[in-house]
Structure 1
Amino acid sequence: MNTVRRILVTGGAGFIGSHYVRTLLGTPDGPGRVEVTVLDKLTYAGNPANLDPVRDDRRFAFVRGDVRDPELVGKLVSEHDEIMHFAAESHVDRSIAGAADFVLTNVVGTQTLLDAALRHGVRTFVQISTDEVYGSLDSGSWTEEEPVRPNSPYAATKASADLLALSYHRTHGLDVRVTRCSNNYGPYQFPEKVVPLFVTRLLDGGRVPLYGDGSHVRDWLHVDDHVAGVELVRTKGRPGAVYNIGGGTELSNRQLTDFLLAACGADWSRVDHVADRKGHDRRYSVDCGLIRDELGYRPAKDFATGLAETVAWYRENRAWWEPLLRRAER
């Protein structure tokens, strides 16, 4: 008999969480079929429109609520087999301006979910994290054995959540698996992050900001590849393991700006050089050998194709992002 996996996806109206939900429900019923409930507070970055493609799927349900609400979380967790924990405050600049919401959502919210998962015997808990927990490095790439050395308040709260989640595996035997991804890009990304920020401003004839000397290096990962990696971890990963998920395209912010300007038909006259971010990490790079060797992960989307598709999506979907910009300006 084929069992139905009941999956609770926190933060499922956000960029990566909604992509995961749309991808998961894009597969017809069959072996390993699923039912998905999204729990999302619908803060500024959570957008119900991200879930419109699956809204009428009988396998989908949506609950508006906070991961810090123990009563609601307990009820939902008791009705599900697995938890995919995407919910997080995730913008570094906002965390520098004020860290309280990051601590409450990213740490206390994770602890609330973990307590409920332990209490109700959840089968699998996947903690979605970031390579920013490792800090910064000049050369080489981080393996999962690298100690966490976060530098921003955002990264510190994600590192705290990771360690808390892993402690529930080591102390209580809860099946916790952690993923740490590099910088994501793709459709439906809220236009405060660098790729959609630059694209939407350039499409509107505006200007874009480049921090410092533009030499900060990031590894770019298309959201398609990220959710494919996450799903491998959910279905095949080891309890207690941490898996890095990268895209294999390292670019300086200056190189990324070059790509974005060209894709939007603009030039460097549209770039403002601004003061560097406080505590700005110089370089991130993750070693994906573990998830490749154990689970067969390979990024499938080359950067040139992925970026072109992303720019085209924003060009063709102004009705999605223009209201978000107006809301952010209020």
Structure 2
Amino acid sequence: MKILVTGNKGFIGGHIYNYLKARNYEVYGYDIGDTLEDVKYDFIIHMAARGLIRLSKEYPYEYFQDGLALTMKFLELARKNNSMFIFPSSGSIENPTNPYSLGKKQAVEWIRLFNKLYNLNYFILKFFNIYGENARKGAVYLFTRAALTGETATVYGDGSHVRDYLYVGDVVKLVEDIINGRLNSGEYEVGSGIGTSVNELISLIEDVTKRKIKFIRKDYVVDEADNLVAKNTVIKRPLPLKEGIERVMQWIKESEIKA
């Protein structure tokens, strides 16, 4: 069984790749700019993409090239090789307000079309806010780092918008379940199912780190939904957010601050 993980040098793709490698799966890696090995893959786990939503407004073409266009490249490879195609969607596709979210929504439509036309086997995993070690963006990382370093963080809006935070280790376990046939192909929400406002997240991080977070407020760069929470998540026992923050805090201390 040959498995390709694209985006294997990135955050989520890196966790998946390293986990499978450590457990002796035959896993191959590809990231943007790499040369793809000529291998017939049984699974293509397509995680490679530009991921910073706010920057997509500034670089729409680059986000198309490294988003939807890149997805089409690996979708066609999956069609030719009869590979299982695993793709991360996003909670933001419900109402696309930026090139990143629109590209994700259109990719989902292409995958569904390939299923109808070519009987492509696929999993669409609608990710919410995935956080964890090695993520150098996202609210959990940015606010935890600000608490530990005393740097000033930025809160967009009034901090009342609610998000669903899921630890990356829960995603990795889900992918292994898929590889081992424990889940039927289809579309799944992947989140904790628990909503946490930005203001609540800041309070929780201050409690974990025992430090106050300095922050400034700014207007949204792009319009954002008030509430994005998984309504029917496939994750049954997510790691509690407080425990996940503790892991992120420890990682930041060991890898960045050396405290």
Q: How does 1:113-192 map to 2 (within 5 A)?
A: 113-122=74-83, 124-135=84-95, 150-190=96-136, 192=137
Aligned match of 1:23 in 16, 19, 26? 19
Return the alpha-carbon distance in structure 1 between the equivalents of residues 257 and 110 of structure 2.
Answer: 40
Cross-structure match for 1:207 = 152
Structure 1 residue 230: deviation in Å? 2.7
Cross-structure match for 2:232 = 288
Structure 1 residue 319: deviation in Å? 7.2
Return the alpha-carbon distance in structure 2 between the equivalents of residues 266 and 245 of structure 1.
Answer: 31
Instruction: State yes or no: 1:315 paired with 2:259.
Output: no
Return the alpha-carbon distance in structure 1 between the equivalents of residues 87 and 113 of structure 2.
Answer: 12
Cross-structure match for 1:277 = 221
Return the alpha-carbon distance in structure 1 between the equivalents of residues 217 and 183 of structure 2.
Answer: 43
The structure with more radius of gyration:
1
Return the alpha-carbon distance in structure 1 between the equivalents of residues 45 and 104 of structure 2.
Answer: 15
CA contact (8 A) 1:90 1:154 kept: yes
Instruction: State yes or no: 1:87 paired with 2:48.
Output: yes
Instruction: State yes or no: 1:96 paired with 2:42.
Output: no
Go from structure 1 to structure 2 and tell me whether the alpha carbon gap of 1:159 and 1:277 turns closer, same or farther (over 3 Å shift).
same
Identity of aligned residues (%): 24
SS at 2:160 equivalent:
coil
CA contact (8 A) 1:9 1:84 kept: yes
Structure 1 residue 264: deviation in Å? 3.2
**Per-residue deviation, residues 257-288 of structure 1 (Å, max 9, x unmatched):** 112233333325x1212222321211102123
Instruction: State yes or no: 1:227 paired with 2:172.
Output: yes
**Per-residue deviation, residues 80-100 of structure 1 (Å, max 9, x unmatched):** 221001111111111122211
Cross-structure match for 1:238 = 184
CA contact (8 A) 1:179 1:230 kept: no
Unaligned runs of 5+ in 2: none
SS at 2:9 equivalent:
coil
Unaligned runs of 5+ in 1: 42-63, 66-71, 136-149, 292-296, 321-330
Return the alpha-carbon distance in structure 1 between the equivalents of residues 143 and 242 of structure 2.
Answer: 16
**Per-residue deviation, residues 23-55 of structure 1 (Å, max 9, x unmatched):** 22333x5xxxx20111012xxxxxxxxxxxxxx
Return the alpha-carbon distance in structure 2 between the equivalents of residues 245 and 265 of structure 1.
Answer: 30
- CA RMSD across the alignment: 2.0
Return the alpha-carbon distance in structure 2 between the equivalents of residues 246 and 213 of structure 1.
Answer: 23
Cross-structure match for 1:302 = 240
